[in-house]
Structure 1
Amino acid sequence: MCRNSVWTEQVCNTCSAEANGALTCESARVGDPCTAEGREQCMVPAGDRMMVCRSGFWTTKPCSACTPTGAETVACGAPRAGDPCSSGARAQCDTADSDRKLVCNSGKWMAQVCNSCAVRNGSVECGPARAGDACASEGKAQCDPIHLNQMLVCRERLWATMVCNACSVAGSAINCMAARKGDPCLPSQKDRRQCNPDKSDVAEGLLVCRLPVTGGLGVWQPEACNECKECSVKTGLIY
């Protein structure tokens, strides 16, 4: 092809001339021979793959939203969930949703929950989970980073909150201090009882989760209990 008064080479698979003198070229196919090592072109008709000349033959690899940038190079857009990916591809943040990351699984990008997804030092990092976020490991728990008296537990694929006074992590275990008089309790803990860790007398030996009439969080309130014993707890109630 004549460019700037100089004949230059351009790949043209199955080159043919029209009656008006125009040239037409078929698109390269995987396995076709090629001469320019490293040359790239978008794969037609698939717009999510690119062709690369390797060792004298055209090979293919994933390239989301492939766009030509020159005679020999192409640019790839950000991948989307469902796009093809190469085995071993690094996870990356989903540009369509800042709370998701894309992981290469069985040759396709799969979206996963990743709060406040960010790339640091070449690796994807996720922010802490929040109540209502999706989760995968049933029963897994972690301390709530915002509410120090709550923990998050994976229940039916969603993070749910539970009261965990002074929540702390010890290795792979979550530790909770016993509730104390005036601490908050959840609606799901209505009328639940526990021994008062600060009092053993009859007047305030027991703590009971009492909810307000208007709804919302309740409060652990003391009640009389003589010689309260935790071993008498059955299904959350003390007898």
Structure 2
Amino acid sequence: MRHSRQTLLWGSEGQQKLASARVAIVGLGGLGCPAALYLAAAGVGTLRLIDADQVELSNLHRQVLYRSQHLGRPKAEMARRQLQALDPQCQVEEEAQFLDEGNVDRLLKGVDLVLDCVDGLATKLLLNRFCVTKGIPLVTASANRWQCRVQLVDGGPCLACLHGAEARANGSCDSLGVAGPLLGMAGSFQALLAQRRLVGLAPAADQLHLFDGESLAWRQWQLQPDPDCPHCQ
């Protein structure tokens, strides 16, 4: 049986919850690639892949879904093909678009959980606002240089509590650089949090998880809701 090892952890009822789940992955770069692989392999019924980028040579050291022959091709299409090759039963919907204010309602309609795998803070805050308003669990992550950060937004402090409600200039891995395995760790951690939430083993929603690749240490920060947050208060 394809999922027998993990079904030992959460039973057939939990596996059925995964099979009936619809998950959106926004961003198919270094975070979205490992997250998508593990969610498809776990038996999540439907994955909606949202990204308008094309595969570039500089992506390949960290975006593990893609191969050299995919250069210049749409990420959403190449990711769909790779995931369906892994598990043909996984329904994969590709949306070769960048998510924005004008299409967020349509692109995220009907999903049970969202993974934020984008770089820009403005899009992260848009996803945060949408998911908090709609009551949809959001697993958000970011990484640059030697550090990665992962947070579940699900009825506790939201991303705006941490960063503020307005986007400010921030560096990305394009400008700061990033160690490829860090993105694999963060994306895999996103998939783990998502799986636990979907099968009913809900992890704490008031923690920020950080990994430092220089000291090789994990840390957890207890988050407090901002009483003035315009989204979750």
TM-score, normalization by structure 1: 0.21
Higher strand share: 1
Higher relative contact order (CA 8 A, sep 6+): 2
The structure with more radius of gyration = 1
TM-score, normalization by structure 2: 0.21
Higher helix share: 2
